[in-house]
Amino acid sequence: MMRWLSPWLSPRARWRLVERDAALLARAPIRAQKIRRSLGAELPHADAYVSSALVDLVGVAWLRKLLRAARGKPLLMGLAVDGRHEIAPPHRDDAALFAAFARHQRRFKGLGAALGGAAPFVLARLCARAGYRVELAASDWHLPSGELLEATLDGIATAACEADPSLDLADWRRVRKQQLAAGKLTLTVGHRDLFAVRRRRRPICRPD
Ligand SMILES: C[S@@+](CC[C@H](N)C(=O)[O-])C[C@H]1O[C@@H](n2cnc3c(N)ncnc32)[C@H](O)[C@@H]1O
């Protein structure tokens, strides 16, 4: 986010970064001492708030806290899952698998019961109620057959079985492995980017 937004921001812009994963911090191209470890404490006031792949991990109370801290400042919350999974070709166990995975995504992740695929829509509603103009745009992952898809499906299946230990995915795993090897499997994971700015009470300049 920092690198991507930099062309639009003043070079003097100051960032406050937050990430709690020590393994990620060790690989960050920024000295880890500059990064706060927790989003749980009071959120600082800032001119804008941005995140990537975060808001689906938090609960509604944390989103309200974010909006209170933001006090009308712009928000750019990227890459929140929106609950869609399109996998081709289909398999009879897809629906049960993705339903169990969705339940896993809504577990407690440290900042309340996570909203999972509802997150971008809940945040959009809260922003609208707080007087923001909100834009939601699709930013889906499109995964062709390959190692990333294999790892993603493995993660989804493992999480789904944790959420529903009665799931029997033996056939699903066997068929998916064959399709991956043949390069015949694709997955789209629905994501949304949310951008919210406060509506101006009066236009800056009136048309003649
Ligand atoms: C899905 S990952 C996204 C990582 C990165 N922002 C990206 O887009 O690739 C979510 C990140 O949020 C971090 N995170 C989750 N809860 C947090 C918390 N309470 N405080 C700080 N970081 C947290 C996790 O450690 C994880 O790295």
The DSSP annotation for 147-158 comes to: HHHHHHHHHHHH
60: number of CA atoms within 13 Å, CB side?
Answer: 8
d(CA 7, CA 106): 35
Structure tokens at 190: 């629905």
pLDDT value at 72 more than 90:
yes
Q: What is the mean pLDDT of residues 68-83?
A: 97
Domain range list for the chain: 45-198
pLDDT, residue 34, reads 66
pLDDT value at 97 more than 90:
yes
Q: What is the mean pLDDT of residues 19-39?
A: 77
Ligand 1 binding pocket mutation candidate from 16, 39, 66, 189 (most atoms within 8 A of CB): 39
pLDDT value at 186 more than 90:
yes
29-43, 69-83, 132-146, range with the lowest pLDDT: 29-43
Q: What is the mean pLDDT of residues 171-196?
A: 98
Q: In the predicted model, what is the mean pLDDT of the chain? A: 92
Ligand 1 cavity residues, CB under 6 Å:
18-21, 24, 38-40, 52-54, 57, 79, 110-111
pLDDT value at 107 more than 90:
yes
Q: What is the mean pLDDT of residues 16-22?
A: 86
For residue 122, name the pLDDT band (cuts at 50, 70, 90): very high
Ligand 1 centroid to residue 38 C-alpha, Å: 10
Ligand 1 centroid to residue 171 C-alpha, Å: 33
For residue 42, name the pLDDT band (cuts at 50, 70, 90): confident
Do β-strands 49-52 and 75-88 pair in parallel, antiparallel, or remain unpaired?
Answer: parallel
- pTM recorded for the entire structure: 0.91
Q: What is the mean pLDDT of residues 87-96?
A: 98
Angle between helices 60-70 and 119-129 (to 10 degrees): 40
Ligand 1 centroid to residue 192 C-alpha, Å: 16
pLDDT, residue 202, reads 55
Cβ count near 119 (within 10 Å): 27
**Ligand 1 atom having least distance to the Cα of 37:** 21
